[in-house]
Amino acid sequence: MVLKQDGSKMPFEPTDFRVGLDIGICGRAIRVYDADAYTREFFNNMGQPQSDAQYCPEDAFTNSCKPIPPKKDPELLEFLEKKLGGGRVPSQKQFLDHDRKVLRFFTSSGDL
């Protein structure tokens, strides 16, 4: 149970939490930005509808938790691909030069 900081020593009640209000809890100001559908229905049934959702600004910590995509180094990527036996062909010329050329082998399963 958390008590109100207005000196009344009364606990917080559901009606104390309203969208758009700042609430003082343990020396911190906490802004209520939105409520879920069940909470909105609860307050509508009490005859006290909640206000519309408000914009919640992002803080520096939230921004620091976002993953940063690594920079792609094309030369390093090509080097690693060639090192592993693959790699990109610099152009399609070699494919066109060898178009329709097929290596063909004949084998037999007889005794040698």
DSSP 23-62: EEETTEEEE-----HHHHHHHHHTT-PPPPP------HHH
The number of beta carbons lying within 10 Å of the beta carbon of residue 17 is 15
Domain assignment present for residue 13? The answer is yes
Domain assignment present for residue 105? The answer is no
Domain assignment present for residue 39? The answer is yes
Domain assignment present for residue 62? The answer is yes
Domain assignment present for residue 14? The answer is yes
Residue 57 structural domain: 1-89
Residue 47 pLDDT: 93
Residue 89 pLDDT: 61
Q: List, run by run, the mean pLDDT of 10-residue segments along the chain (112 residues).
A: 82 88 85 91 92 87 88 84 73 74 66 51
Count of structural domains, the chain? 1
**Residue with tokens 């060639």, as numbered in its chain:** 82
CA distance 109 to 90: 41
Domain assignment present for residue 65? The answer is yes
Residue 41 pLDDT: 92
Residue 70 pLDDT: 82
Q: Which residues contact 53 (CB under 8 A, 6 or more apart)?
A: 19, 33, 34, 35
Which of 61, 1, 2, 54 is closest to 28 using CA atoms?
Answer: 2
CA distance 32 to 3: 17
